[in-house]
Amino acid sequence: METMNKLGRILLVEDDPKDVELTLTALEDYNLANEVVVARDGEHALDYLFCRGEYKMRSSDNPAVMLLDLKLPKVDGLEVLKQIKSDEKLRMIPVVVLTSSKEEKDMVASYKLGVNAYVVKPVDFHEFVNAIKELGAFWAVINEPPPGSVRK
Amino acid sequence: MAQPKLPSQFAHSALRYGLAVASFAVALGLALLAQYYGFRNVEVPLLLFGVAVTAWYAGPGPAALAVVLSIAFFDYFFTEPRYTFYVTSSDIPYLTVFISFALLVAWFSAVRRRVERDLRQARDDLQIEVAERTQQASLLNLTHDSIFVRDMDFAITYWNIGAQELYGWAAEDAIGKHSNHLLQTVFPAPLEDIQAELLRTGRWEGELKRTTAQGTTVVVVARYALRRDELERPVAILETSNDITERKRREQEIESLNLELAKRSTALEAINKELEAFAYSVSHDLRAPLRHVAGFTELLHKKASTVLDEKSNRYIAMILDSARRMGNLIDDLLAFSRIGRAETQKTLFSLTQLVREALTEVRQDAEGRNISWKIGTLPDFYGDRSMLRLVLVNLISNAIKFTRTRPQAEIEIGCANGDRDDLVVFVRDNGVGFDMKYVNKLFGVFQRLHQADEFEGTGIGLATVQRIIHRHGGKAWAEAVVEGGATFYFSAPKPRGLLWKP
């Protein structure tokens, strides 16, 4: 499909399997789900990004966008964000914080660390689906990713 | 000694010269008498005696007169040629003896007088000093401070009225007693250290606990001063002390109150932290399952709505509605709790402009409605702009909501007559109003005066309004008539130093 050819790889960092399923469903509806890598905690996400642990063998290209939850087991979202933004190669990955938290301090902390967008997951499913769709479409399709990202 | 006045001084001089003449006359008479009875060579001592008496009692002037008279009449009566004042060379030794003797006696007399005068002076000085000291000692009794003196063996030697008043012992009971035993003094430091400091510096100051004659305990702040004699030996200690029992008690009270306050504020801080953590947790953790309920129900609806019967579909719709409602509730509750925690950032801004912004925000609610707006002239407002916008949005959307049943809604926003310090803003509608007997419930959290299916809402809006207005130092209140519309007011301090034009 046309869109699939343009689609970038999405790294979804989310610990809640229900949220993962809802997100994938939303992306699926708009044919954006094929290239989604799911990391279930912060450590897992960092392993993927730094090509270590179980991702030792993966090709070293960056995802086109990363959807990051803040409340994560082991290494939390803000810490993941900090490590990405302080790494020469990874800092170019667009990071969208996708979180339940409406807390201002989380938002401020995220922007200070250089997040590209901050989205509060809407409770309403339609709004949620719309938000995911628009995010996926914008970052994985419309946006021209930085060099070194995967784009099929 | 005061000098005698002139007339008496004159009389005094006459007396002195009279004494000279008299003593000379007596001596001469006695000498002539002795000569008459054949006693030889007694005239010189007799005349000298007369001179001596004069010199001693009457001073140099009369003494000189006595000498002159004695020499003259000695020459006249007792030296050859007799009965003349003719002076021969044999008279010279007599002359010399008379003059030297007179000088000697006059000198002695002068010395005596000087000594006498000095003594008198010393006596007078002493009298004055005694009088002064007596006065000073009585002054010490005027002071409210307790003052006493003790010697180096702690025996009390002086005890003023202040000491009597403070410790309850009269001076006659206290003097001679051992000060520390009498007063059962409790020192803040070992007595040896205090003594050492006193001997080294001459002073000591500290708080003492003592027991009065009545047996009550008093706390005093005492100041010791060491007195040394001329050989620098310590001889006495002067102690002044003030009763600080009451002050001490208050200090302790304040201290314990402060401690309590600190404890409470720590507890409050902990509670606030907990509350913040709670709000955060609500924000994050409560929302996720809710989103899942809504999300999967929606998916179920999408997948199965065609195979489910009408009732099941209605259940699904109700689940979704409840989830949405709970989402709104969580959002409003969090916003409400944030207002309590957030710092207000106050600026001066135009309320007219803010009302315009609020109207834009609630435009959606007013869509398809026939509302006549009446916006009065509004003053400038000093406060947190975003919080005030929330107030206006809440009040205006309420007005829109509760006029829903009116074919022609009327909403008025204006400025009522405040007083000198406060301005009053109101939002008036011609909606359904409410019964004034429930007015107390109006601003409470989760308090609703209408049924949920009649007018939707979370019951947090007016609580938020009140909280914001309270944080601005104002008041929020309402007036209404059932089915006769409602007016919501809020007041706030006028911007200082700025003229407000109605």
Q: 3-state DSSP: chain B helix, strand, coil percent, rounded to 5?
A: 55, 20, 25
How many Å from the N-terminal Cα to the C-terminal Cα in chain A? 11
Select the CATH number that applies to the domain covering A2-141 from these four: 3.20.20.60, 3.40.50.2300, 3.40.190.10, 3.40.50.300.
3.40.50.2300
Chain B CB contacts of A98 under 8 Å are none
Establish if A76 touches chain B: CB-CB under 8 angstroms.
Answer: no
Chain B CB contacts of A102 under 8 Å are 283, 331, 334
Chain A CB contacts of B334 under 8 Å are 102
> What is the model's pLDDT at position B477?
92
Rounded CA gap, B433 and B369, in Å? 18
**pLDDT (tens digit per residue) in A70-109:** 888 888 899 999 999 998 888 888 899 988 877 778 889 9
CB contact (8 A) between residue A102 and residue B292: no
Chain B CB contacts of A122 under 8 Å are 291
Q: Which CATH superfamily is domain B146-243 in?
A: PAS domain (3.30.450.20)
- Quick one: tokens of A83? 């490590």
How many Å from the N-terminal Cα to the C-terminal Cα in chain B? 90
Is the distance from CB of B380 to CB of B350 less than 8 angstroms?
yes
Residue B484, classified by CB atoms within 10 Å of its CB into exposed (0-12), middle (13-18) or buried (19+), is exposed
C-alpha torsion B345→B349→B351→B354, nearest 10: -70
Q: For chain A, positions 29-68, list CB contacts with chain B under 8 A.
A: none
Rounded CA gap, A51 and B92, in Å? 148
**More confident site: B42 or A141:** B42
Establish if B285 touches chain A: CB-CB under 8 angstroms.
Answer: yes
Residue type, B85: F
CATH code: domain B344-493 is 3.30.565.10
> What is the model's pLDDT at position A3?
40
Provide CB contacts within 8 A for B382, sequence distance 6+: B346, B347, B348, B492, B493, B494, B495, B496
Is the distance from CB of B101 to CB of B51 less than 8 angstroms?
yes
Nearest by CB to residue B295, choosing from A22, A99, A104, is A22
Mean pLDDT score, A42-70: 85
- Quick one: tokens of A31? 């044919």
Q: Nearest CA of chain B to the CA of A59: how many Å?
A: 34
Rounded CA gap, B382 and B494, in Å? 7
Q: For chain B, positions 65-84, list CB contacts with chain A under 8 A.
A: none
Is it the case that residue A1 has pLDDT exceeding 70?
no
Rounded CA gap, B355 and B336, in Å? 21
Rounded CA gap, B71 and B299, in Å? 161
Rounded CA gap, B298 and B319, in Å? 9
Q: Nearest CA of chain B to the CA of A2: how many Å?
A: 26
Is the distance from CB of B476 to CB of B490 less than 8 angstroms?
yes
Is the distance from CB of B28 to CB of B12 less than 8 angstroms?
no
> What is the model's pLDDT at position A152?
47
Question: What does DSSP assign to residue B298?
Answer: H
Establish if A20 touches chain B: CB-CB under 8 angstroms.
Answer: no
**Is the peptide bond between B81 and the residue preceding it cis, with omega within 30 degrees of 0?**
yes
Which SS3 state, helix, strand or coil, does residue B383 take?
strand
Rounded CA gap, B108 and B151, in Å? 46
Is the distance from CB of A115 to CB of A96 less than 8 angstroms?
yes
pTM comes to 0.50
Mean pLDDT score, A56-82: 85
Question: Can you list the positions of beta strands (E) in B52-181?
Answer: 146-151, 156-159
Nearest by CB to residue B294, choosing from A25, A71, A125, is A125
Rounded CA gap, A22 and A133, in Å? 12
Rounded CA gap, B188 and B206, in Å? 7
What pLDDT band is residue A146 in, cutting at 50, 70 and 90? confident
Rounded CA gap, B425 and B418, in Å? 9
Distance of CA B348 to the CA centre of its chain: 40
Question: What does DSSP assign to residue B210?
Answer: E
Rounded CA gap, B173 and B21, in Å? 66
Q: Nearest CA of chain A to the CA of B459: how many Å?
A: 20
Q: Nearest CA of chain B to the CA of A148: how many Å?
A: 34
> What is the model's pLDDT at position B399?
92
Q: Give how far Cα B111 sits from Cα of B56, B67, B104, Å.
A: 10, 20, 11
Rounded CA gap, A84 and A93, in Å? 8
Q: What is the mean pLDDT of each run of 10 residues along chain B (502 residues)?
A: 55 86 89 84 83 82 84 82 78 80 80 89 92 81 85 91 90 90 91 90 92 91 91 90 90 93 90 79 78 89 88 90 84 78 83 91 85 89 90 92 90 84 90 86 76 73 89 90 91 71 44
Question: What does DSSP assign to residue B308?
Answer: S
Rounded CA gap, B52 and B111, in Å? 14
Interface test with B, best of A123, A124, A127 (most B CBs within 10 A): A123
Q: Domain ranges for chain A, please list them.
A: 2-141
Q: How many CB pairs under 8 A join A and B?
A: 60
Q: For chain B, positions 334-373, list CB contacts with chain A under 8 A.
A: 334, 338
CB contact (8 A) between residue A103 and residue B280: yes
Provide CB contacts within 8 A for B142, sequence distance 6+: B161
Q: What ipTM was predicted for this assembly? A: 0.75
CB contact (8 A) between residue A101 and residue B283: yes
Establish if A16 touches chain B: CB-CB under 8 angstroms.
Answer: yes
> What is the model's pLDDT at position A61?
79
Rounded CA gap, B330 and B328, in Å? 5
Question: What does DSSP assign to residue A114?
Answer: T
Listing DSSP states for B24-66 in one string gives HHHHHHHHHHHHHTT--S-HHHHHHHHHHHHHHHH-HHHHHHH
Place of tokens 């201290």: B255
**pLDDT (tens digit per residue) in B215-248:** 999 999 999 999 998 888 999 999 999 889 899 8
Establish if B316 touches chain A: CB-CB under 8 angstroms.
Answer: no
Among positive and negative, which fits the CA dihedral A55, A61, A67, A68? positive
- Quick one: tokens of B292? 């899942």
